[in-house]
Amino acid sequence: MISYEEACDIVLSASKFGVCLGLERMEMMLAELGNPQQQIPAIHLAGTNGKGSTLTYLSSIFQEAGYTVGTFTSPAINKINDKVKVNGVEIPDENFASIIEHFKPIIEKMSRTSVGSPTEFELMTAVAFQYFATQKPDIVLIETGLGGRLDSTNVIKPLVSIITNIGHDHMDLLGNTIREVAGEKAGIIKESVPVISGCKQEESIDVMKKQSELLSSRLFQLGTDFYCEHNGGTFSFIGGGNHFVDLKTGMTGSHQQENASLALMAIQCLPNFSISESAIRQGLMKAKIANRIEIVQDNPTIIFDGGHNPEGMEALASTLATFYSNREIRILFCAMKDKDINGMLQPLKDVATEIILTSFPYDRVMDPQVVFETFPLSQSRVIVDCSEAYRYIEGKSKPDSVFVVTGSLYFLNHIRNVLKK
């Protein structure tokens, strides 16, 4: 059998094909494998922001209720196979290597066809389906990588579809307007499968309604068919004939309460699962996810947040203003050059004492000096080397200061690895 390292090399070598939207390669590869995706009971999640958090709430609640939960998320945090987990435990290296070895002749066969070899994300999606088909968890939570309609995960017919929200992200690939992006996300809606929507703009809600009607899928829209009532650190959920009060989430922010409400509404659509109120309350409290307003240290408070688009930054800024007003807030910022950098920085300018623009070794990363010159903010400065920038903010921090590392999820993962070393 090939080694784990060899398996990683095979998957990573597929990254040279980059982002290549479409389902033809996935369908060909999965047919060769016997269509393992048809053997798993799944919930499918798409959206610009919040899908990872909603997935985490679902996973935590199901586990509290005694169910075995498979999850497929992105991007990887520490190693390539930590995208694929059962009850929070990543697929073992030997299982990963075994599956990739099984894929090798299929990859070679596909390379000789007109569709070409699968991409890195497609390979990892297929690994997830194959692993879950053998492990047989009670429920599988599948997060899209990019978009929905042409995303490699969109080969399943789930029990429930969840579309968390629509925002300005990947518009070079998904469309130039909110309506166009919503159309791509709505592509995960399947015939007669319930849809949970957290969309807020009228145009995106309209897209969800039309696609649901076209496919005879029952749409549950946040604010119309179910409700999240904020009450500071707690919230109430009303929907599906249930009314839960004084609920609390393990992640900070009113947007997290809305993400939790999407998870709760999805559970109402699964009558074959027995979920107690106690499992819901404990599951919400225990749910944590890396890089989502994650407090990694106290005194000073250090927060990691992957707010990689304007909507994500607005949620971060709102949370900082609510919970950390009258504190010094220094922000270490780095994003990809294809993002709406100005839209991401604008929400931060009213809450930040200082914004440090930095970089790290990655071909898609922004040039912090260009950002500084293009979008000048009075409290921003450039420190190109991210390790030096991190030490600079550490040196400025007092016990009651707040230090936020934000921008690209790839950047946050790089910082974590630097700190480990």
The CATH number of residue 349's host domain is: 3.90.190.20
* Cβ atoms 25, 34 nearer than 8 A: no
Domain of 145, in residue numbers = 4-286
Please tell me whether residues 34 and 167 are part of one structural domain: yes
Please tell me whether residues 82 and 29 are part of one structural domain: yes
Q: How confident is the model at residue 293 (pLDDT cuts 50, 70, 90)?
A: confident
Please tell me whether residues 39 and 143 are part of one structural domain: yes
How many folded domains does the chain comprise?
2
Please tell me whether residues 234 and 329 are part of one structural domain: no
Lay out the sheet containing 227-231: strands in order across.
Answer: 227-231, 234-239, 242-247
Provide the residue count of the chain. 421
Mean pLDDT of the residues in the chain? 92
Close Cβ partners of 91 (under 8 Å, ≥ 6 residues apart): 81, 84, 85, 127, 131
Please tell me whether residues 23 and 145 are part of one structural domain: yes
Please tell me whether residues 224 and 258 are part of one structural domain: yes
Residue 97 sits in a domain whose CATH number is 3.40.1190.10
Please tell me whether residues 229 and 310 are part of one structural domain: no
Determine the average pLDDT of the residues in 45-59.
Answer: 94
What pLDDT digit, counting tens, does each position of 85-138 carry? 999 999 999 999 999 999 999 999 999 999 899 999 999 999 999 999 999 999
* Cβ atoms 312, 49 nearer than 8 A: yes
Among candidate residues 286, 312, 343, the one where a domain is terminated:
286
* pLDDT the model gives residue 309: 84
Please tell me whether residues 269 and 298 are part of one structural domain: no
| Residue type present at position 74 | S
Give the E-state strand segments of 177-299 in sequence order. 195-197, 219-221, 227-231, 234-239, 242-247, 294-297
Among candidate residues 236, 260, 286, the one where a domain is terminated:
286
What pLDDT digit, counting tens, does each position of 301-352 carry? 999 998 778 888 988 999 999 889 889 999 999 998 888 888 899 999 889 9
Among candidate residues 247, 263, 286, the one where a domain is terminated:
286
Q: Is the pLDDT of residue 170 over 60?
A: no
Please tell me whether residues 161 and 277 are part of one structural domain: yes
Please tell me whether residues 179 and 305 are part of one structural domain: no
